Chains A and B, each alone.
Chain A
Amino acid sequence: MEEKLSSVAKNFTPSPIQELSHLAQRCNAINLAEGFPDFPAPLQIKDVAVSAINSDFNQYRHVQGICDHLAAAMKKMHDLDVNPLTDIAICCGQTEAFAAAIFAVIDTGDEVVLFDPSYETYEGCITMAGGVPVYVALDPPQWTFCPGKLLKSFTGRTKAIVLNSPHNPTGKVFSKEELEVIAEACCRWDCLAITDEVYEHITFNDKKHISLASLPGMQKRTIITSSLSKTFSVTGWRIGWAIAPAFAASAIRNIHVKITDSAPAPFQEAALTALTSPPEYFEGLKKEYEFKRDFIAKVLTSIGFQIHFKPQGSIFLFAELPKDCLLSDVEYVKELIKEAGVVAVPGCGFFHKKLSMEPLSEASCNYQKRYVRFAFCKSIATLAAAAQKLSDLKNATRYEHS
């Protein structure tokens, strides 16, 4: 019966992140792999959700207030004028907003430009819709891209570019200059941009998150996707959105309605409270994560990891294996789980060999197996425990070798 699977499903492989998670669970490892917190969500937001359930907000609904708040936020953060009645679609998480956006604009054969490395789900979604992913490398160690190569990756078949900033897995926050290059490519080829901005409120050292849509000529061609999940530590609530010009928002809403019909009702209510959190909340969030970033960076450096690029945002740190390490990223992570009881994600799952310009030689491709992604969206206790285990491992190894 296996032949009954669609060709799309047949080409898919299980998520490497999830598989390692299972190994980690079996070994009872400290999970610095998956990007969700192990500390509680803000109490006041949970209380609103509880009260919503009690007040019978449990049937299908669309809470327009969310759109109003989002429109206000877009104005405040990016000086974007968004019409809350026409330009916003509430979805089950950024995942669904992105899927709906892709299905709304991608036809079979349409090319979609992506940066490499990237979150593994984008490609799957694009492929499911019949699109063709075209990758442009972010070059280590600073994860910069060559503007010429970017421009050359656009063709007459390019429909859209996907931009994730702040970036998973590198933690890069695309600069104004970089965004201008991307915007120029989009405008020149009259393409759309679909952004994933879920880490929009997690930036460090006063680095500002700039939304691609706020650049000249971009708002009318950009679909912004984001969610409550990372900002409010409620990844399991599935409240996200797409903000786009009316024609796209409407198509996305149409598709969303056919895919899931509505986002969970009580959590939409809670979103109203979340989205009107005072500035102190966001400042606190940044500070807390900045501290954790610094902590984990220090720990990893002390055990030999090479951190050429300190994350400017997101909840991830992408570190290169120690200089003298001969293992691949996957082998190293397996060892880390077994010997230290700490799990992280091998970077190879985020890289794609087939880059748009020249295919890379084996040698220059090597870096794709040298990186490991650590999540620091964990409680201090968890991070401290991980630090302990890692330094124990290092001491043990050192002892062994002496």
Chain B
Amino acid sequence: MQPQCSWTRTHAQMLRPLSHKCSVFSEHWLKAAHSHSHSHSVRRSHNRPTFRATMSTVPTRKESLPAQDGSSQKAPQPLQVAKRLEKFKTTIFTQMSMLAIEHGAINLGQGFPNFDGPEFVKEAAIQAIKDGKNQYARGHGIPEFNAAIAERFKKDTGLVVDPEKEVTVTSGCTEAIAATILGLINPGDEVILFAPFYDSYEATLSMAGAKIKGITLRPPDFAVPIDELKSTVSKNTRAILINTPHNPTGKMFTREELNVIASLCIENDVLVFTDEVYDKLAFEMDHISMASLPSMYDRTVTMNSLGKTFSLTGWKIGWAVAPPHLTWGVRQAHSFLTFATSTPMQWAASVALRAPDSYYVELKRDYLAKKAILVEGLKDVGFKVFPSSGTYFVVVDHTPFGLDDDIAFCEYLIKEVGVVAIPTSVFYLNPEEGKNLVRFTFCKDERTLRSAVERMKEKLRKK
């Protein structure tokens, strides 16, 4: 079957229409008359990565539908989707993935490994399935897993938390974020986001009707602009969202930065929501949890997940740690979003979180080796590579190669060079701010990374 493409109006303006099969539809998209959607996936053959496949558009203006069955007795209301979706963008990932498949490109775009998780964790899941642990788990998590999370949290931050009252298990950190925002944010509340940001933040905040205030982190070191922060935080600020280590830049918030944010939060009674899924991929400095700073635990929701640390991104095991008065809201929303989290995987996750220190040491060592291959390679090719302290991402400036913007560059990279990167403009409130940057990932096996570097060395020419 022919795959179809769809774009929101904003993207249609930003992008040149693709020259292949999709162009048939470009005129239709530019009219943005209806939302189209499709999904596709690649049946996973052994060596090929699989891709998330979702895309859709939302009509940005109301359309009247003709009453075809003649049964309407009043002027037909347009069957439209909720206003809260108007901010939702197409996921660029899918577009790139499709192009990648077509051109046989090596995918250093999407952030999941092409190698698998550790045997001991997989075995635990299998055992749980065989032992019949296949029914609803307790909504906020199985006691074993909550306890393991609390134990790990103590090890990482020094904080002692009550697993029964202060830990909530969710379907991935993505759901933890959704539950936190929907459970704690009222329509009209001001929330501060640091751009560039993981794409679910903006979407979920707009679902909650929040007023988003963005502060941009800029190259080369993506440091927090303290003055801008001070002038943005006010008594009207409800919450601030921090992702550290940071996707896509790899930045890690320093103690000084966190201290400044903390004092502003205390002064203005602001909550902090932290996304720390890459905390075990901290290379250049130690990861610091905001919750561990003086007086901050009481106003912080700390979120994390299994997926990145254990290369099991498809299991959807995440969690939120927060004081009881904040956990309540998170649990309420969670109970209506998914009600309960995958049971066998929670049992396996309990085992995973009790992994010995050696697991984490080896994880870092492996990733450091991969990082070296990619970073050295990107530098040799001619990119301006920004230092990345953590995560498995690195952002680079692509302008030496003479393309107009990040999307044009990524398309060129796929078609002419056979490598996929992600254009970072999608991670900003104002896409213009990201047009010089693209993101590469090194969560791939070494051979894949080397091949990608070779292709770029061979075919990517500076202008």
Contact = CB atoms under 8 A, between A and B. Distances in A.
Interface string A264-291: 1111000000000000000000000000
A237 B315 contact: no
Interface stretch (A4-12, A315-323, A337-345): A4-12
A383 interface: no
Interface in A202-237: 216-217, 220-221, 233-237
A265 B342 CA distance: 11
A188 interface: yes
A258 interface: yes
Contacts of B82: 103-107, 129, 251
A195 to B, nearest CB: 16
Interface string B69-112: 10111101101011111001001000000000000000000101
A6 B183 contact: yes
Interface string A113-124: 000000001001
Interface range for A: 35 or more
A240 B170 CA distance: 16
Contacts of A262: 52, 172, 314, 316
Given A46-B130, A236-B136, A237-B134, A92 B72 contact: no
Interface in B164-220: 170-172, 174-175, 178, 182-187, 199-200, 203-204, 207-209
Contact of B37 (A7, A86, A93): A86
B129 A46 contact: yes
Contact of B116 (A1, A38, A56, A188): A56
Q: What's the dominant secondary structure at chain B's contact region?
A: loop
B300 to A, nearest CB: 11
B250 interface: no
Given A9-B332, A49-B129, A236-B133, A257 B183 contact: no
A400 interface: no
Contacts of A192: 79
Interface string B1-13: 1011010000000
A233 B82 CA distance: 34
A77 interface: no
A61 to B, nearest CB: 5
B43 A46 contact: no
A107 B86 CA distance: 12
Report the 9 A-B pairs with minimum CB-CB distance, sorted nearest first: A250-B37, A265-B314, A236-B343, A250-B56, A9-B329, A56-B116, A95-B339, A251-B81, A260-B171
Given A5-B325, A235-B135, A264-B316, 4 more contacts: A4-B271, A6-B329, A250-B37, A265-B314
22 contacts: A4-B325, A4-B329, A9-B184, A9-B328, A9-B332, A40-B132, A58-B314, A63-B41, A86-B38, A88-B39, A107-B84, A125-B336, A190-B79, A221-B79, A236-B137, A236-B344, A246-B36, A247-B79, A248-B81, A257-B200, A258-B207, A261-B172
Interface of A: 1-2, 4-9, 12, 15, 18, 34, 36-38, 40-41, 46, 49-50, 53-54, 56-65, 67, 85-86, 88-89, 92-93, 95-96, 99, 103-108, 121, 124-125, 128-130, 156, 184, 187-190, 192, 216-217, 220-221, 233-238, 246-251, 253-267
